Copies of this chain bind each other. A is one copy, B any other.
């Protein structure tokens, strides 16, 4: 008998992800699995999101890194519930890691939970963590062909954030081609252009979050 180790691992992951999702639903939390290459700007996005959501909805963060607590330290000033997971060596977060973080979060104090995955355009796309939506961030200096080269992550994501738009003029990044490439691998993907450091594009992103939160709560009420 042959066992496909990867299939088995993903099946286990899916089971635990479903349990996580049940827990999140029960606490009326919208969960986003935020993925990108290293250094695309995920943590800066979270800083801007924390500011923009203040007084509207309560944000919580689980941030994953192989080593260091740099990301959670950056978020400390924002008075959010933040859990730092250091994976040691795994190159992605999986459902079981998230399950192990949940007892340390007061889920009654969170409306939107963003799970900031390990910086990696490949492996995180394969693992569900219990999210409602996957969101992928691509930054201008990485190049417009990335959706074609790493299609799974773009195919799995509901939203593409094109970040560092302020660097556009210094690179050969072609915005139209990036949009075309993303839509080619995922015709349903929504796209927002932004610059987290310049504070550009934060408003449509936060509107997207709020709209998805309200949609989920509406569905839960009518169920």
Contacts and interface: CB of A to CB of B under 8 A. Distances in A.
A91 B141 contact: no
Interface in A140-194: 140-143, 145-146, 148-152, 164, 166-167, 170-172
Given A122-B91, A122-B120, A167-B170, A148 B68 contact: yes
B70 A145 contact: yes
A123 interface: yes
Contacts of A118: 122
Interface string A182-217: 000000000000000100000000000000000000
A187 B89 CA distance: 21
Contact of A37 (B37, B68, B167, B197): B37
A38 B142 contact: yes
Number of copies: 2
Contacts of A5: 5
A119 interface: yes
Given A91-B123, A166-B170, A170-B170, A149 B37 contact: no
A52 interface: no
Nearest to A5: B5
